[in-house]
Structure 1
């Protein structure tokens, strides 16, 4: 059973507890006890596994978030008239208000990138996906930690390492969170600042197995003789707005790209190709662009997110190509290891 169905069942159970005549004589304490037994068994509520209603006010607030979300979904879906269009609905973030969602998950800090001034783009394949070459690591889950900036950078580095002929392995995101003092760890950060730090220090990122993810800030651990890992040699950051054909060439030639986007509307995303209501004015979330597909009626970017595989298209989101939707081309970094 997927997250959408789990959430629907859980919410139906919650409303059944509150509303039915058979429960009208029960005390709120008894209702609250049952509500918490339901919530405690349901991991995806707000991305938390420890959701507990501490009182009637908190439950009513969650109920309002749910009702507001359903109204928001109806509006967003009113634009989705084509079979491939994005669909919006209940997911693991539906118990969060938009403000709570932004505070927890949209913590990337954008940096101004130089416009790309490259040569004319050579002919490119209609479809290209680095996952087909086994150089993209599985989707991760940042949990309730604003560490998307670190996941984006580390995702690009571990892909570049595999493209260079070394074994694909997951590198430590937690090491970047703890040690990149120019950024704020779970409180947010800039992918560009992280890349400058990695280039300047030439620090070796160790495997995730040696420095596991904790979804919270911690003390920096240095490794004098790490087993495996990789250091950053160089990177580029460009603004490809209006030049997404050149961005396609950058992806094909250099590998998966770190990008900062406006992901406000992604709170409700279930799947399909985003074509509307995704601004480029307020970048706030870092992701990894792993490919594109221009074979169909709607060309789109293939983007790996860091919200787990229960979100979107098994952890991926598809964004229409050619319109700088979500600001996907405004700040794009490629790495060399």
Structure 2
């Protein structure tokens, strides 16, 4: 490659990386991997990063072309993940283990609490949802979604909203593999069986890496999980909507492969059921418009999506959102 071409390539990559880092100008010999800065040792690494960005632009154009005929279409474009290949993105961020849950059936125990459910409901408006968090380069989405559900249900049951420790669940749930991935169902089972109290975030702060489990005395303050449910609501999203109101925010595992490029709007295509890889929290729904959608709180920071949130079309089991749905009871 000629010197001028190489310089042009590096300069273009430099400006795009500056844009992807929300205005913080990166040095020419730095790239971002998994939300952290790492030194690039060679021109080849810069070239590879630039190729990933070029591929991202093509992929985003393809996804946007399929959104043109939809109402409230999802938009795809450059964001903080555009410098990663799909494989890198999957290995860092899509680390939730899929689970098979039994089909949901109405029982005397979980009859609806109301005969009428509002066309729009959002647990954020009830003070039950804290700020969007950022898992960084740790594949701990499974723990973030479970802890966020516990925080929300505590408010639903009359308690105060408090930041609980995701790091404790990442370090101590021996059935999962910390930042290398885990299961929302296994985490809830572990919390139920051990009666482990999830302590405050200030007592056990987030490190974005797997560490040694810290044990607290039984009398130490915290929130314990009494029980949980996990069901397959595919084909029954109307009932799933009702259970969201009755039970509180729901932990779900979705196919988030195409979410690498998501900027906002309602996701209506290019994600599948039965290929779950990422755990998120459903905090509400909206059926008042032409396109009804679920309101999703993610754990990739506020610079992703719509302030850290995504919207997924209802009724079609889009992204497998109804395949594995868990609720927490305290």
1:238 equivalent in alignment to 2:226: no
Q: Which residue of 1 aligns with 2:180?
A: 187
Name the CA distance, whole Å, in 2 between partners of 1:134 and 1:17: 41
Distance 1:268 1:157 in 2: 29
Aligned to 2:138: 145
Counting only pairs closer than 5 Å after superposition, residues 248-263 of structure 1 correspond to structure 2 as 248-263=241-256
Deviation at 1:152, TM superposition (A): 0.7
Q: Quick check: 1:79 aligned with 2:66?
A: yes
SS in 2 for 1:236: strand
Pairwise CA distance, 1:281 = 2.8
What is the CA distance between 1:144 and its match in structure 2?
Answer: 0.4
- Cα pair distance change 1:227/1:134, threshold 3 Å: farther
Matched, 1:65 2:55: no
Q: Distance in 1 between matches of 2:13 and 2:252?
A: 43
Give the corresponding residue for 2:38: 51
Is contact 2:10-2:47 (8 Å) kept? no
Q: Distance in 1 between matches of 2:179 and 2:161?
A: 26
Give the Cα separation in 2 of the matches to 1:293 and 1:223: 41
* Alpha carbons of structure 1 residues 36 and 252: separation in structure 2 relative to 1, 3 Å: closer
Alignment partners' CA distance in 2, 1:66 and 1:267: 12
How many equivalent residue pairs?
Answer: 308
Matched, 1:325 2:318: yes
Q: Summarize deviations over 1:105-147 as a string: whole Å, max 9, x none.
A: 0000011100001168743210000000001111100000110
Q: Structure 1 residues 14 and 234, CA, compared in 2 at 3 Å: closer, same or farther?
A: same
CA distance, structure 2, for counterparts of residue 46 and residue 126 of structure 1? 41
* 1:282 aligns to 2:263 (yes or no): no
> Which residue is equivalent to 1:91?
79
Matches within 5 A, 1:17-56: 37-38=27-28, 40=30, 45-56=32-43
Match of 1:114, SS state, is coil
2:98 is aligned with 1:110:
yes
Give the unaligned 5+ runs of structure 1. 1-10, 19-34
Aligned partner of 2:297 in structure 1 is: 304
Distance 2:241 2:280 in 1: 16
**TM-score if structure 2 supplies the norm length?**
0.89
Q: Secondary structure of the equivalent of 2:38?
A: coil
Could you state the TM-score of these two structures normalised by the residue count of structure 1? Answer: 0.87
Greater fraction of residues in helix: 1
Cα deviation for residue 279 of structure 1 reads 0.9
1:115-126 equivalences in 2 (<5 Å): 115-118=103-106, 122-126=115-119
Deviations 1:163-191 (CA, angstroms, capped at 9, x unpaired): 11111001000000010000000000000
